[in-house]
A and B are shown apart, each in its own frame.
Chain A
Amino acid sequence: MPSLGTSFGRGGATDFQQDLQHSDCIVIQGSNMAENHPVGFQWVMEARERGAKLIHVDPRFTRTSAMADLHVPIRAGSDIAFLGGIINYILENGRDFREYVIPYTNAATIINPEFADTEDLDGLFSGWDPESGAYDPSSWQYEGVAAKSAAGSRPQGGTAGGGEQSHGAHGAGLSSGHQPSTDPTLEHPRCVYQLLKRHYARYTPEMVERICGVPREQLVEVAESLCANSGRERTSAFAYAVGWTQHTVGVQYIRAAAIVQLLLGNMGRTGGGILALRGHASIQGSTDIPTLYNLLPGYLPMPHAEGHETLDDYVEEHRPPGGFWGHTRSYIVSLLKAWFGDAATQENDFCFDHLPRLTGDHSHYATSFEMRDGKVDGYFVMGQNPVVGTANSKLHRLALAELEWLVVRDFSENETAAFWYDSPEVVSGEHSPETIGTEVFFMPAATHTEKDGAFTNTQRLLQWHHKAVEPKADCRSELWFMYHLGRRIREKLAGSQDPKDRPVLDLTWEYPTEGAHDDPDAEAVLKEISGYRVFDGAAVSGYTELEADGSTASGCWIYSGCYADEVNQTARRKPGREQDWVALEWAWAWPLNRRTLYNRASADPEGRPWSERKRYVWWDEVEGRWTGYDVPDFEATKRPDYLPRDGAEAEDALRGDDPFIMQADGVGWLYVPVGLQDGPLPTHYEPQESPVSNPLYGQQANPTREEFPRTDNAYNPVDGQPGANAFPYVMTTYRLTEHHTAGGMSRTVPYLSELQPEMFCEVSPELAYERGLEHGSWATVVTMRQAIEARVMVTERIPSVTVDGQRIHTVGLPYHWGAKGVVTGDSANELLSIVLDPNVHIGEYKAATCDIRPGRRPRGKARLELVERYRSQTEDRRGPA
């Protein structure tokens, strides 16, 4: 999300799946789309039927590859090198869409002379402070622009809350009103274009072959396909999923694709863009209205304990001079009015002080470690199963054992709820139900067919789901649970004079309820999220109507408009066959029902479509407004030739040909001067655990990655460290179509369980031979954390590749299995360690190392002993330099 956010202005998929049918070339990478988005994949098939070239880059040949024209087997964890190779190809051969690049990107912008690239510093950028483990990004800034760096103002270094603005990341660091210096000829040595060229100069096809194990001809074929299918007449699209995000450099992976798509002029175009395929049906919604510790709804940052004393401090910090983020005050004030209602007034900063403040990293992972160390009392786990679904299963179980109380809400008693009596630790004797002091409450949950509500899917589409049946017995929806929990807490606190209780008591907490169980009216909540005028409760029609004076309320400014005209826009269901492919009257997408973001870029600077074939949104001179197939992602009546006056603010500071309206300078960022922890340009770093030494730089892995070097999270040693050859194989985890995430919704269902009944691993014939593994038999996979067993599937679909002269084998593991359900098995997440991308605190699930041996794993204490034998071969339990 922050990668898309920093590059373009919003952290969300830029395109919608139906639009893929108009692509001329689709690269699916870091995604197994046919496997995990089978319904959306029909649009890729549609494109293929119309002659599009389909390329799948993946360590495995999957159900997606089966439909592709070209499958490129890439070493897991080396995608930046691959994408860098494409960037290198584009720049070296002058294949960028120049007429798009100059007006619509920051290619011409000149960068601070203090900036030093990874080419200069052997894998580091300028500003690296080894003590704090973080960068001071002031030297990355645009030339002449005062640096207002987020990371620098935080004392906690790499784990700081500096990430909070990254999700939306919109160039808040640029100071007001100043236009950066540019060189439209792109020849200035410090212009972004030249810096790009230099940064990727060594990412040649030969180097890509060396790093990724991909034959150089294939890299060239992919690059050439993209180039040939970009420009005025043709567009190419990228689709990615967690195969890209779940790396310690995940954000930079996506940034690299953003660079490719900006250089080729595919952003904002029909059949172009970057489709972020999310990991489940409403996870986009859970970053929009976030379940993330560092975000407020609509990607507003959570305030920090230091530097955000007042609302003004907060707004000053986060409000960029240009673009729609310039209205940050309106968004935060409207949010506060929605939450605190009448209690929120101008005088008390609209209850800004009621908001909790960050003091560091409070992410799921960091909190799990705190839990393990006995610092957390209680835990709500709702629709989540960390013991199976999150890296380092054992850590989570040990952490759960230190709690005072645990509440699990789910359809059935999952592995997290059952940890206290059914776990490897109970079997091995490390724990027992008698010694675990945690009080566990299991609360049954209603399913999606048993409640009203909206999902926000991968293409930012809010679709309302109507309750079809009443939930059985005591099953209740999340809305019911949270509402009544809140209600009861408020009743207990009523009349309290303690200022600590004011935030809870000041909340607006009245919703109409219905039915035998007093279910809160979900549509009422939706309206509150969309926004209304405080004085008469009338629904607003979009975020442009939100005010900073407390006269409006909106629970999530990017969703504002989803209840426009007092109509639940998300419930609209005009059939697709009665509309064009954009289908604006089906449901509602944020923002303001725009389906393809940055669609101003589908027209040239004069407002004319780049070509008839690819017309999408264009300027109508007669009507004096933008028109087309989609809602223009632009001010409706701003002329293409509009130039801002001096001192203009927010969107008024943007020109008529600045398509990226959320960015301070209105252009797509090839180079990100501020907002990301690990650099303005994506750089190939090896994963935390890798059998390969970084061939490009002395800096092995992402210097700013978030590590937790503890005994209960020991990392596999890497090249040069003692015991490195104990774990010689690359390990990657993935999904199967038949199962869903941690298995709670699939391994409990017989019809799905029988389709994939057993945990298995996939190995190449070469690896099978090397380790004596037999197809259909058992294998044990071992890391510093745990040993698990799996049935063996020997297949050529997970090929071994040659990297830097070394033969690299990969062990593939689906991650769906756990101890409870119709079908059971060991969890892949037992094996993984916790090491995070510094921007978003997402774990590295897609590339690690392991050992594999034939036979079933030992039981009980013997299992611990096996792992210990491996661990004793290593001395240092920490990760690489």
Chain B
Amino acid sequence: MSLPDGERRGATYVSPDAAHENGRGAMTERARFRSYYGRPILKEPVWTWEIPWYFFTGGLTGASSALAAGARIAGNEAVARRATLTALVMTAVNPALLIADLGRPERFLNMLRLFKVTSPMSVGTWILSAHGGAATLAGSSELTGRAPRAGLAAELAGGALGCALATYTALLVSDTAVPAWHQARHELPFVFAGGAMASAGAAAAALSPVSEAGPARRLTVAGAALELGAAQVMEHRLGELGEPYHEGQVEKLNQAAKGLTAAGSLLLATAGRRSRLAALAGGVATLAGAACERWAIFRAGFQSARDPKYTVVPQRLRLDERRRAMADGATQS
């Protein structure tokens, strides 16, 4: 048994809020950080591998529905078909992952006991269910060729719902106390949105004939740009709360996410215009990149919850600042 981590003294710490709000220099003050034997204050999530894959498949199915709807309206049947079927397949996988992660999977229907605005998981369950229904209907219609009008309506509905499905998942993580997640609440939806767009585009581009896949490739590039851009902003604004992204396993995942997404979308956008093989490679790489991004975010949260400094220092600074402000206010009045 090693010595306890004990308390670290005089850790230099910059509060992201302070740096952001006050616009002052990066060094606000030397934060004296104390803890209880270095133990975590928060609990790490109990979620396991199913959840980052859920984020990934949710983004893929949701954005694919949107892509399918758009393609259908634009008359691009090839892309519409691929996208709708992608959505159909992923919509079967998606909820299964969520249910498997439950402590009591047999009670998954309890999610539908109520609709609670304060719970992204509650709202999300309804979105998931509604989208699932729509995507199933649309996909079945595409497969069987039957009920085309119902299928179209379902496709359109699924498209709208799919946008929500792809982004609400960001709130699943940001609506927690985990510092790396909560403090990234402004950026995470856009990271997820970008990732979803890139995934849907990449899948459709890989599966569709090169000549038909133009919009898919464009969607991929736009998504990749949004994903990478939003992630960059997020990491910057997190400041030292973003430290987990630059350490250990999370750093590797992070770099993989960036690299694969950039390289994949680039490949798609260039060689993917002519070569089906390149489109496939680029598509797979982009998809892999999006998956890695979800995993990086997931794992970063665990590290953020585990080390008490991420909880204590910003709160301590915030508290001391508030007290100082109140004291100033009191002396001034």
Contacts and interface: CB of A to CB of B under 8 A. Distances in A.
A774 B1 CA distance: 10
B110 interface: no
B3 interface: yes
8 contacts: A774-B3, A775-B3, A775-B4, A776-B1, A776-B2, A776-B3, A776-B4, A777-B1
Interface string B1-32: 11110000000000000000000000000000
A856 to B, nearest CB: 13
A775 B4 CA distance: 9
Contacts of A774: 3
A498 to B, nearest CB: 65
A377 B4 CA distance: 53
A609 B152 CA distance: 101
A437 B2 CA distance: 47
A776 B37 CA distance: 13
A774 B4 CA distance: 11
Contacts of B3: 774-776
Interface residues of A, number: 4
A794 to B, nearest CB: 9
Interface string B263-274: 000000000000
Interface in A765-780: 774-777
> Binding site of A, secondary structure by majority: helix, strand, loop or mixed?
loop
Contacts of B2: 776
A758 to B, nearest CB: 11
A776 B5 CA distance: 13
> Binding site of B, secondary structure by majority: helix, strand, loop or mixed?
loop
Nearest to A774: B3
A774 B3 CA distance: 8
Contacts of A775: 3-4
Interface string A634-671: 00000000000000000000000000000000000000
A776 B2 CA distance: 7
Contacts, number: 8
Interface in A751-789: 774-777
Interface of A: 774-777
Nearest to A777: B1
Interface residues of B, number: 4
A100 B2 CA distance: 60
Nearest to A794: B3
A839 B1 CA distance: 46
A509 B21 CA distance: 88
Contacts of B4: 775-776
A46 B294 CA distance: 57
A808 B292 CA distance: 60
Nearest to B2: A776
A795 to B, nearest CB: 12
A776 to B, nearest CB: 4
Nearest to A791: B1
Nearest to A778: B1
Contacts of B1: 776-777
A158 B96 CA distance: 83
Nearest to B1: A776
Contacts of A777: 1
A825 to B, nearest CB: 16
A777 B3 CA distance: 9
A527 B317 CA distance: 70
B201 to A, nearest CB: 54
A117 B3 CA distance: 54
B3 to A, nearest CB: 6
A777 B4 CA distance: 12
Given A776-B4, A777-B1, 6 more contacts: A774-B3, A775-B3, A775-B4, A776-B1, A776-B2, A776-B3
A775 B3 CA distance: 7
B95 to A, nearest CB: 39
B5 to A, nearest CB: 12
Nearest to A792: B1
A260 to B, nearest CB: 42
A147 B176 CA distance: 84
B1 to A, nearest CB: 4
A775 B2 CA distance: 8
A706 to B, nearest CB: 42
A775 B1 CA distance: 9
**In the complex, the 6 A-B pairs of residues with the closest C-beta atoms, listed nearest first:** A776-B1, A775-B3, A776-B3, A777-B1, A776-B2, A774-B3
A847 B1 CA distance: 30
A777 to B, nearest CB: 7
B317 to A, nearest CB: 31
A777 B1 CA distance: 6
A568 to B, nearest CB: 50
B7 to A, nearest CB: 15
A313 B3 CA distance: 68
Nearest to A775: B3
A14 B4 CA distance: 46
A776 B3 CA distance: 7
A776 B1 CA distance: 6
Contacts of A776: 1-4
B40 to A, nearest CB: 19
A855 B3 CA distance: 16
A862 to B, nearest CB: 24
A774 B2 CA distance: 9
B257 to A, nearest CB: 39
A241 B204 CA distance: 82
A878 B2 CA distance: 42
A414 B109 CA distance: 51
A790 to B, nearest CB: 14
A38 B248 CA distance: 48
A777 B2 CA distance: 8
Interface string B170-189: 00000000000000000000
A451 to B, nearest CB: 43
B17 to A, nearest CB: 37
A775 B6 CA distance: 12
Nearest to B3: A775
Interface string B210-224: 000000000000000
B39 to A, nearest CB: 15
A791 to B, nearest CB: 8
B47 to A, nearest CB: 27
A822 B4 CA distance: 26
A36 to B, nearest CB: 26
A776 B4 CA distance: 9
B130 to A, nearest CB: 47
A775 B37 CA distance: 13
